[in-house]
Structure 1
C-alpha cells in the first residue's frame, strides 16, 4: 500500500495539463499542493472543471491522501470549491462585481491599518517590513504564477505585517479572512504588478516610518485604488477575449 506522505514516483506522469511539472521522486502533500496551485493560478485547469481525487492521484502517481490534503488547502485558499456529492471543482475567476466588493472592504480596513501602524509599529516591525520590500524589488524572471508566486507571497506578507504592527488582533483576522477572495485574482496577478506595486508600498512604508498617520492612510488608499483599477482593466480584457 502506498505511503500517504511519501509515495515513490518513477518518472513524470503523461498528463494533458500537468506536463513536465509532475513529480519525479518522493512526493509530500505540500509538493502536490504547489503543483496543483500553480496550474490553477495559471488557469491550466479551467474554472469550473471537476477535480477527481482518484484521477489526480493516478496522474501524479501518488495515493489519494496527499491529493485530499492539497485540495483541502486549496479550498481554504479559495481556489477550489467542494460541494456535497459532487467533489471538488476549480473555483471561478473573480468577476468585476466581486472584485469591486473586495476592494471596497479593503479600502475600509487597510487605510486605517496603515494609520495605526504608523502610530504603533515597533522599530523591529518596521525593519521587517523594509526587508520584505527589499525582496519585492528583485525582478521577476518571467510570466505566469510559477515566476510570480514568491512576489505574491511577499505582497500578502507586506499587508499582513502592517496589520500585525497595529497590535489589533481583529485587524489581522479580518485581513486573513479576505485572503481566499484575493487568491481568486489568479490570472490577473502579473499585469504590471511588480513595477507598480513596489513604489506604492514604499510610499506607505515611508509614511509609517515618519509616523505620519494621515499620510500612511492616504498612501494605502492610493495603492488599493490603483490596484483595483489595474485589476478591473485586466478583468474586462479577459471577458472581451
Structure 2
C-alpha cells in the first residue's frame, strides 16, 4: 500500500484527521494499482494514426497519474513543514491534473459519439502531451486552458457520475484553493492572527498548523477520489474507440 510515513500519520492523528489521512492513502493506493513501468511506444513514423492516438492517450493518462501520485505524497511533506502555502499549491495542482484527465474523458466521449472528427481528437491528445507556451518551444501549440479543462470535467462528471445534476464540484474546489494559492485575503490571512487585546496583527512565524489547514488536504482528497474513476473510464473509452479496424476475413472457399 502507498501510505504516508509515520511522521505524517501522527500529524493527521494529532489533529483528529486520521480519516482524511486514510482517504488520501487509499487514493494513492488506487493510483499505484494503475501505474505502469513503461509503455511500448515503438517507432513513431511506423504507427498508424489510430495507434499513435491510442498510445498518446495512454501516455498522457500515465503522466497525469504520476503527477497525481507525487502531489498526494507532497501534501504530507507540506504538513511536516507546516507550510500552508505549499499545501494549497499542491492541492490545486492535483485538481489541475484531475481536470485535464476529465477534459480528455469528455473529448474521447465526443469522438465516440461522432461529435468531433478523429483528426481533431488526435491533435488534441498530442497537444495534451506536448503543448507549451514558452517561446523556447517554437513548434508547440499552447495547451488547452486549465479553466476549460475544469469546465469540461464538471460537465463530464455532472452527466456521467451525478445523473445530470449540475454540481460543478471541480470549479468550486479550484476557485477556493486559488484564494490560498494567490496572494489574496485567504493567503494573506494565513500569515497573521489578530490579537484583540493589543490590536496587533501577530505574524505566525514558526507557528503550528491550524485545524482549517486540513481543509486544503480535504479538497485534495475530493480531487484524488475522482481520479481513479476518470482514469478507468478514459482507458475503457480509448480501448473501445481507438482500436484498430480489423480487416474482414476472406470468405472460405466453396
TM-score by length of 1: 0.28
Larger gyration radius, structure 1 or structure 2: 2
> Which structure ranks higher in relative contact order (CA pairs < 8 Å, sequence separation ≥ 6)?
2
